[in-house]
Copies of this chain bind each other. A is one copy, B any other.
Amino acid sequence: MTKVSGYDLNNTLVKSLKGDIDPNNEVSQQDLASAHELSFHNDIKNLKGCNVYIVCVPTPVDQNKVPNLTHLIKACKDIAPYVNNDDVVVFESTVYPGATEKICIPILEEISGKTCLTDNLAKTSNIFHVGYSPERINPGDKDRNISDITKVTSGSSQTSQIIIKKIYNKIIKAGVHNAGAIKVAEAAKVLENIQRDVNIALMNEFSNLCNKIGIDTQEVIRAAKTKWNFLHFTPGLVGGHCIGVDPYYLTDLAHRENCDVDLIRTARLINEAFPVKVAQRILSKLLENEILPNKAKILICGVTFKENVTDIRNSKVKELIDELVRWNIHVSVHDPNLPISIIRENFSENIIQDLNKNNFDAIVFAVGHEQFKAISSLTIQNLCLGRQKLIIFDLKSILDKRTFSNDELEILTL
C-alpha cells in the first residue's frame, strides 16, 4: 500500500476528514475509515517525505470572470521547498493550455533549485518531473467513481509520462490515456467543459425562441432525440465550478493570443444571462395570472449548483432568486440536501425546512434532486392552499406531468 497524505489550508475540512466525514458527501464514512494509509494534514511540514505531489487547488474566476491563479501559484510556492530529486508534481486543477509550463514549472524550479525534466534536457540529475492530469470527477454521481473514469495524463518528458501513467494506473481501473504533451492534456480538459457549456447554451437559446413563438421546448427535444445522433441536452441554469468557470480560462488565453473565440464567449453570455431570463418567465406567468409581484409568494426548491449535491458554490439559483427579489417577489427557499445553517449562510430569504401547509402562489423546482421527483400532488396542493391555480415551474423537467394533471395545476418547463 502507498502512503497518502491529504493537505489542505482549510483546517475545518481537515478535521472533518480526520473524523472520516467528507462534508461534500462524495466519499463515504466507511471508505474514509478503511483507508488506513491515508492521513490528513493542515501543516505543510507534513509534506516532508512525500515524493509525488498531486495539486488539486481551485482555479476560479474573479468577479470580472478573469482567471484567478493565486491558489495554484501559492501551491507551487508551498510545495517547491519539499521537492527532492526525481520527485513528481502533477497538477489536476483546470488551467488554460500552457499554464503549467509557463506559470507552475518556473516557480517550482526557482524555489527548489532543481530542473524540470524535458526531452531536450541533457542532464538527468538534480531534476524533478512535472505532469498534468485533469480532474474528471462528476459531482453527485455515486455510480461513476474516480477509479471508473478514464484518466488523461501527461508529462514534461517521455520518462515523466511513463512514471506518471504508472502512478495513476495503480488506482484507475478504467485505464489511463497518456496525452503526451502537457498542453494537450490541459486543452482536453477545457474543451470537455466548453463542449457541455456550448451545448446547454444552445438549448437555452433555443428555449428562449420556443418560449417566444409558443412551442414547448421539451416536446421538441423529445421529438429530436428520436434521431440516432441527437445529443440529449436540456435547457437549464449552468453553475458550479467547472462548466461555468473553465471556459473563461480559454477565452482569456484566446484574448491574449488575439484569436477569436466568439462561439465560446457567446455560449457563456447566454448561460450567464439565463437566470434573469427564467426569472422574467416566472414574472410573466404571475402577471398573466394577475398576481402582482409584490404580493406574490414563491417557494424555490433546490439551491445547489446541480442535482444531488450539497455544493452551493456558483449556484445560479442565487441569481434567479436575486432577480425575483428585485421585482419585490417574496421568495422562500427549501433544499432537503442542505442543513438550514448552510442555506442561511448563503441566502437571506425565508427558509422552509419541511414542505408543510402554506399559501405559495408558485413553486419553482430549480434543481433536479431525487427527493423532488417523488413529490406528491397532495404535498404541492398543501403548499399552495387558498390559491385558485397552482403554478409549478419545473426547470429541470423532473415531474411526471401525468401524475399532476388537473385543471388547477399548471406545470411549466423551460
Contacts and interface: CB of A to CB of B under 8 A. Distances in A.
B184 A230 contact: no
A215 interface: yes
Interface residue SS majority, chain A: helix
A314 interface: no
Interface size band for A: 35 or more
B202 A263 contact: yes
Interface in A255-273: 257, 259-264, 266-267, 269-270
Contacts of A250: 209
Q: Name, among A136, A149, A191, A264, the residue most crowded by chain B CB atoms within 10 Å (CB to CB).
A: A191
Contacts of A259: 208-209, 212-213
A231 interface: yes
Contacts of A253: 209, 213
A184 B219 CA distance: 7
A177 interface: yes
B184 A215 contact: yes
B266 A223 contact: no
Interface in A176-209: 177, 179-181, 183-185, 187-189, 191-192, 194-196, 198-199, 201-202, 205-206, 208-209
B266 A181 contact: no
Q: Name, among A187, A198, A199, the residue most crowded by chain B CB atoms within 10 Å (CB to CB).
A: A187
Contact of A209 (B209, B227, B261): B261
Q: Name, among A194, A209, A221, the residue most crowded by chain B CB atoms within 10 Å (CB to CB).
A: A209
Given A201-B263, A205-B264, A231-B231, 10 more contacts: A149-B228, A150-B226, A152-B226, A184-B216, A187-B220, A196-B229, A199-B231, A205-B263, A208-B260, A209-B253
Interface of A: 97-98, 136, 144, 149-150, 152, 175, 177, 179-181, 183-185, 187-189, 191-192, 194-196, 198-199, 201-202, 205-206, 208-210, 212-213, 215-216, 219-224, 226-231, 250, 253-254, 257, 259-264, 266-267, 269-270
